[in-house]
Amino acid sequence: MEMAFTVRLLLLLISSFFVVPIFVFSQTDGKVAVGAFLSATAGNNSSWLSPSGDFAFGFRQLENKDLFLLSIWYAKIPDRTIVWYANGDTPALAPQGSLVNLTANDGIVLTSPQGEEFWKSETSVGVVAFGVLNDTGNFVLEDGNSESLWETFKNLTHTMLPGQDIEKGGKLSSQQSETNYSKGRFQLRMQDDGNLVLNTINLPTDFANPSYYASKTTGDLNSSTAGTKLEFNSSGYVYVLRENGEKFNLKEAETVSARSYYLRATLNFDGVFALYYYPKSSTGNVSWSVVWSLPDNICSMGVDSGLGVCGYNSICTLKADKRPTCECPRGYSLLDQNDPYGNCKPNFVQNCDADELNSTKDQYEVQVLKNTDWPTSDYMQLYPFTADGCNASCFEDCMCAVAIYRVETCWKKKLPLSNGRVDSALNSLAFIKVGKRNATLQVPHLPSPDDGKKKKKLNTLMPVESTLLVTSGFVNFLLIAAVCLGFFFIFRKNHERCTQNDLDINLHSFSFQELQEATNRFEEELGRGSFGVVYKGKIEIGSGVEVTVKKLNSVIQDSEKEFKTEVNVIGRTHHKNLVHLVGYCDEAQQRLLVYEFLSNGTLASFLFGDTKPSWRQRIEIAYGVAQGLLYLHEQCSTQIIHCDIKPQNILLDDYHNARISDFGLAKLLMMNQSKTHTVIRGTKGYVAPEWFRNMHITTKVDVYSFGVLLLEIICCRRSIDMENNSDERAILTDWVYDCYREGVLECVVDNEVEALNEKSKLERFVMVALWCIQEDPSLRPTMRTVVRMLEGVVEVRIPPCPSPYSRIG
Ligand SMILES: *[C@@H]1O[C@H](CO)[C@@H](O)[C@H](O)[C@H]1NC(C)=O
Ligand SMILES: *[C@@H]1O[C@H](CO)[C@@H](O)[C@H](O)[C@H]1NC(C)=O
Ligand SMILES: *[C@@H]1O[C@H](CO)[C@@H](O)[C@H](O)[C@H]1NC(C)=O
Ligand SMILES: *[C@@H]1O[C@H](CO)[C@@H](O)[C@H](O)[C@H]1NC(C)=O
Ligand SMILES: *[C@@H]1O[C@H](CO)[C@@H](O)[C@H](O)[C@H]1NC(C)=O
């Protein structure tokens, strides 16, 4: 194992001998001192309380599991409803014996019993003096000047509390199910255009479908009625605050006093956003009641808004409390018995082969349902038609699964059916064909990886369009890779998803000969990089798909397993700002990677070419790179540190979206490299100073490189440019800081009108970049914070001088 890790572990073990465990802090002012900690112990819900004792912060054991969720809950009511949990979309589930500490530099830190870090709060700047759990339910980390460095109110999960608001770009995310806190399919988003929307996303991606509720507070062109944020004020009103100060109440409803009731607004796992109340001084059997909820009928969600609450072939019914239930039609049953909101599968075989063998009459019976509809999935509409005719037409059609009859029209539909609902206003009939016999075991033929190899059929291939060009930085990268060897660590956030049993799930394994043919015997060379040579190729699928093939030189000799593991880690990443890995070849000494081909070249040629790209395009690219890095650092199942972020490694697709390439290679290449690293010392480029200082290498090295890249994007010039600049301008980072300090930002964009029209954004971007290039890694924000700061969701403080140690004067 890595040395650094072992040392950490040792320290932790040693320290644990001397620390007397104190689990319950009987504080009265809600304050938590730096150094305080809680431990996840079964049957012992240790927590920190707010002054009134209304809220608690600590570990909560999950039902029937030996896992604990770091969360905030109502401490005085029996069901101890959770209002916040750590790490939002991918909640940090901690095993028994995990610890949460309050530290001065990293804020709240959650570690496993082995000392592995699961999660920490992102106090990007400043030193924590203490934490305080406010009676509002907000856990705040403050610095010595009582300034808030981090708070749970700004790290949204599924619930809003009085006093909390959601700024533009912010969102609530539903949990997966009543008991599973993983990211669910529903979101409440305060959009940049001022509109508050509810929408579904198509997991596992973040692809957002059109909304199923919208506040329509985008405002008019000429007035200032656009929404600015969603507020839940301390008297219990929830409204979109408009620019002109007016309030748009989400629901006009009688109010409940926040004085005598607990109030919370929660986006439920079934997509219903509701305001709840609970009497503070309750006796006996009370539970949460609903003040109002949105949308009015979630079952009648529009078909373009995604699948709806219930799975395929399921039927949604709205209960009296405006919450949905899902039910499979007769003859169908749940695919997953534990997920009542999931898909339903037919218990019988329905296909035209089966129909041919037996006469249809013996096969099916018809079930008639009133006022039930699946508004999509129809392949034929018959008009005018009779109900009987509709029934018969479907019965005799081996394609037809169900027919809906309404106002003389018959819609014939095939499986899978989606967005099923019951609605008395429909006034319709549904004729469902139900197989009389249950299916005998008929497992559909699933292609094995070998099939794919023989037929060259790449089902998982996306339509591919792109280039891989890697030019400079050869020496640098090799050295970095070498240094990496000692320090680099990848910690697995989610062990289950990364076991080696499920290798090759998405990736195609090519033979060397196949790639030789695909590249026409490595004919067209696209570039040379630190890892080897890049060739253009074409794989024969249908009309042929263009790819780039990277021939890695001298990677890992005897570690086939590691190669596969790392390649699969890369292959498992899916994000719109990353270049997709299509497959690999691992044959004898030949190690090759096959990527999609991107047509618009590198960011380097785009930025430093003859024509200056527009400010707008550059801004979008900067966002894109930041999002891609955030994904690599925090959102893919295995954390990936890039180690070599620079404009040559950012590619542009057809729409000039930024796509990061070569991620994961640092780990791949360093596995069997020797370590000499004296040459990089002193080079000012994209390389973070800790590389030279024998310091622990973390994701913050990428943040540093991103900062340099961001400045290059803003200024459209290289980070080091001796040729076209005087001495004081040659080093971009120093020069920009000087311009910033002197308040002459128009210099850095060369008086570009478009940029100056957005002076505040320009200033924000420069400030973010200056935070990223801080010499002290702990001062640099995480990519998550960077993204938020770029979006303007989080305020950017005045950055200190990035390199106080190495600058003179
Ligand atoms: C909870 O932890 C405290 C402190 O270690 C201990 O005294 C107490 O017995 C524990 N309670 C349970 C139910 O385990
Ligand atoms: C809770 O936080 C709010 C806003 O930061 C503050 O006004 C209030 O005084 C705090 N209450 C307590 C009890 O600390
Ligand atoms: C929650 O759901 C996710 C996705 O379906 C699953 O991977 C995970 O194992 C579940 N977690 C628990 C604790 O059941
Ligand atoms: C909350 O909003 C309501 C409705 O606009 C208003 O009447 C009330 O005074 C507000 N309360 C606070 C504390 O601002
Ligand atoms: C058919 O299968 C379903 C689900 O597997 C089961 O509930 C039902 O009892 C079966 N019916 C018959 C007739 O075997």
CA distance 531 to 553: 6
CA distance 236 to 557: 64
- Which residues does the annotation place in the binding site for ATP? 551
Ligand 4 centroid – CA 143 distance (Å): 30
C-alpha angle 416-420-422 in degrees, rounded to nearest 5: 155
**pLDDT score for 239:** 95
Give the least confident one: 25-34, 387-396, 546-555, 592-601.
Answer: 25-34
Ligand 3, atom 12, lies closest to the CA of 180
Contact 362/433 with Cβ under 8 angstroms? Answer: no
pLDDT of 10 strictly over 50: no
pLDDT of 488 strictly over 60: no
In the structure, what pLDDT confidence band is assigned to residue 394 with cuts at 50, 70 and 90? very high
CA distance 340 to 342: 6
Are both 193 and 94 inside the same structural domain? no
**pLDDT score for 45:** 63
In b/e form, how buried is each residue of 425-456, taking b as 16+ CB within 10 angstroms?
ebebbbbbbbbeeeeeeeeeeeeeeeebeeee
Ligand 3 centroid – CA 183 distance (Å): 9
The pocket around ligand 1, CB under 6 angstroms, is made up of: 21, 23, 43-44
Domain for residue 387, yes or no? Answer: yes
Q: Kindly calculate the radius of gyration of the chain based on its CA atoms and give it in whole angstroms.
A: 29
Pocket test for ligand 4, best of 237, 239, 256, 263 (most atoms within 8 A of CB): 237
Burial of 206 (0-12, 13-18, 19+ CB in 10 A): middle
**Residue 438 Cβ < 6 Å to ligand 5:** yes
Which contiguous run of DSSP H or E holds residue 770? helix 759-772
Report percent pLDDT > 70 for the chain.
Answer: 81
Give the least confident one: 428-442, 662-676, 689-703.
Answer: 662-676
Burial of 602 (0-12, 13-18, 19+ CB in 10 A): buried
Domain for residue 486, yes or no? Answer: no
In the structure, what pLDDT confidence band is assigned to residue 5 with cuts at 50, 70 and 90? very low
**pLDDT score for 328:** 95
**pLDDT score for 508:** 83
Q: What are phi and psi of 584, to 5 degrees?
A: -155, 165
**Considering 296, 329, 349, which residue would you say is the last residue of a domain?**
296
In the DSSP assignment, the letter for residue 734 is H
In the DSSP assignment, the letter for residue 502 is G
pLDDT of 19 strictly over 60: no
Residue ranges making up the domain that contains 515: 501-596
CATH code of the domain containing 195: 2.90.10.10
Are both 330 and 181 inside the same structural domain? no
Cβ contacts of residue 591 below 8 Å, gap of 6+? 551, 552, 555, 556, 563, 584, 585
Q: Which two tokens stand for residue 753?
A: 């009108």
Are both 455 and 363 inside the same structural domain? yes
**pLDDT score for 678:** 30
In the structure, what pLDDT confidence band is assigned to residue 452 with cuts at 50, 70 and 90? very low
3-state secondary structure of 531: coil
CA distance 346 to 331: 6
Chain position carrying tokens 């997920």: 339
pLDDT of 26 strictly over 60: no
CA distance 346 to 482: 56
**Residue 51 Cβ < 6 Å to ligand 2:** yes
Cβ contacts of residue 221 below 8 Å, gap of 6+? none
Which contiguous run of DSSP H or E holds residue 712? helix 700-715
In the structure, what pLDDT confidence band is assigned to residue 360 with cuts at 50, 70 and 90? low
What average pLDDT does range 509-537 have in this prediction?
85
**pLDDT score for 427:** 86
Domain for residue 122, yes or no? Answer: yes
Q: Which amino acid is at 71?
A: S
Ligand 2, atom 11, lies closest to the CA of 134
**Residue 435 Cβ < 6 Å to ligand 5:** no
Ligand 3, atom 1, lies closest to the CA of 180
Ligand 2 centroid – CA 135 distance (Å): 7
Ligand 5 centroid – CA 441 distance (Å): 13
Q: Which two tokens stand for residue 32?
A: 């938590």
**Considering 131, 152, 173, which residue would you say is the last residue of a domain?**
152
**pLDDT score for 541:** 64
CATH code of the domain containing 554: 3.30.200.20
Pocket test for ligand 3, best of 182, 205, 335 (most atoms within 8 A of CB): 182
The tally of domains found in the chain comes to 5
For the chain, give the mean pLDDT.
Answer: 81
Ligand 5, atom 10, lies closest to the CA of 438
pLDDT of 386 strictly over 60: yes
Domain for residue 217, yes or no? Answer: no
Domain for residue 601, yes or no? Answer: no
Ligand 1 centroid – CA 746 distance (Å): 62
Are both 397 and 506 inside the same structural domain? no
Q: What is the pLDDT of residues 141-154, one digit of tens each?
A: 999 888 999 999 99
Are both 87 and 10 inside the same structural domain? yes
What average pLDDT does range 376-386 have in this prediction?
90
In the structure, what pLDDT confidence band is assigned to residue 574 with cuts at 50, 70 and 90? confident
Q: What is the pLDDT of residues 759-804, one digit of tens each?
A: 999 999 999 999 999 988 889 999 999 998 998 888 899 999 988 7
Q: Which two tokens stand for residue 370?
A: 């009133």
Chain position carrying tokens 């309030």: 247
Domain for residue 241, yes or no? Answer: yes
Tell me which of 328 and 255 has the higher pLDDT. 328
**Residue 234 Cβ < 6 Å to ligand 2:** no
**Residue 725 Cβ < 6 Å to ligand 4:** no
Return the closest-CA partner of residue 227 out of 300, 166, 277.
Answer: 166
3-state secondary structure of 679: coil
3-state secondary structure of 494: coil
Pocket test for ligand 2, best of 136, 150, 151 (most atoms within 8 A of CB): 136
**pLDDT score for 373:** 92
Are both 250 and 280 inside the same structural domain? yes
Are both 516 and 612 inside the same structural domain? no
**pLDDT score for 672:** 38
Q: What is the pLDDT of residues 494-509, one digit of tens each?
A: 332 333 333 345 578 8
Contact 217/227 with Cβ under 8 angstroms? Answer: yes
CA distance 198 to 297: 13
**pLDDT score for 658:** 94
Helix residue spans in 283-359 (DSSP H): 352-357
Ligand 4 centroid – CA 252 distance (Å): 14
Ligand 1, atom 4, lies closest to the CA of 23
**229 beta partners:** 167, 241
CA distance 779 to 782: 9
Ligand 1 centroid – CA 144 distance (Å): 34
Are both 584 and 618 inside the same structural domain? no
Domain for residue 489, yes or no? Answer: no
**pLDDT score for 599:** 84
Give the least confident one: 50-59, 455-464, 548-557, 618-627.
Answer: 455-464
Q: Which amino acid is at 41?
A: T
**pLDDT score for 684:** 52
Helix and strand tally (H, E) in the chain? Answer: 17, 44
Domain for residue 255, yes or no? Answer: yes
3-state secondary structure of 261: strand
Tell me which of 12 and 712 has the higher pLDDT. 712
Are both 761 and 632 inside the same structural domain? yes
Cβ contacts of residue 598 below 8 Å, gap of 6+? 465, 466, 467, 468, 579, 651, 652, 653, 659
Give the helix, strand, coil percentages of the chain, each rounded to 5. 25, 25, 50
Q: What are phi and psi of 767, to 5 degrees?
A: -65, -40
CA distance 775 to 621: 25
**pLDDT score for 502:** 39
Contact 775/803 with Cβ under 8 angstroms? Answer: yes
Q: What is the pLDDT of residues 708-767, one digit of tens each?
A: 999 999 999 988 887 777 777 888 998 999 999 998 988 899 888 889 989 999 999 999
Cβ contacts of residue 144 below 8 Å, gap of 6+? 127, 129
Helix residue spans in 386-444 (DSSP H): 387-395
What average pLDDT does range 518-524 have in this prediction?
89
Contact 707/714 with Cβ under 8 angstroms? Answer: no
What average pLDDT does range 279-293 have in this prediction?
85
CA distance 797 to 33: 25
CA distance 462 to 460: 6
CA distance 169 to 171: 7
Return the closest-CA partner of residue 70 out of 107, 106, 109.
Answer: 109
Pocket test for ligand 4, best of 160, 230, 234, 235 (most atoms within 8 A of CB): 235
Return the closest-CA partner of residue 143 out of 124, 133, 130, 155.
Answer: 130
3-state secondary structure of 613: coil
In the DSSP assignment, the letter for residue 696 is P
Q: Which amino acid is at 512?
A: F
In the DSSP assignment, the letter for residue 20 is P
What average pLDDT does range 418-445 have in this prediction?
76
In the structure, what pLDDT confidence band is assigned to residue 429 with cuts at 50, 70 and 90? very high
CA distance 306 to 206: 13
For the CA of 136, the nearest atom of ligand 2:
1
Are both 643 and 585 inside the same structural domain? no
165 is catalytic: no
Q: How far is CA 162 from the centre of its chain?
A: 27
CATH code of the domain containing 423: 3.50.4.10
Contact 94/70 with Cβ under 8 angstroms? Answer: yes
Q: Considering 54, 373, 586, 644, which one is annotated as catalytic?
A: 644
Q: What is the pLDDT of residues 535-565, one digit of tens each?
A: 999 887 656 788 999 888 765 555 667 777 7
Are both 262 and 383 inside the same structural domain? no
Ligand that lies nearest to the alpha carbon of residue 148, given by its number in the listed order: 2
Q: Which amino acid is at 763?
A: E
Are both 671 and 785 inside the same structural domain? yes
For the CA of 233, the nearest atom of ligand 4:
1
Burial of 598 (0-12, 13-18, 19+ CB in 10 A): buried
CA distance 602 to 466: 10
**pLDDT score for 767:** 95
Q: Which amino acid is at 78?
A: P
Q: What is the pLDDT of residues 145-183, one digit of tens each?
A: 889 999 999 999 999 999 999 999 999 999 999 888 989
Starting at the earlier edge strand, list the strands of the sheet with 324-327: 324-327, 315-318, 421-422, 372-373
Q: Which amino acid is at 92?
A: A
**Residue 347 Cβ < 6 Å to ligand 5:** yes
**Considering 152, 171, 190, which residue would you say is the last residue of a domain?**
152
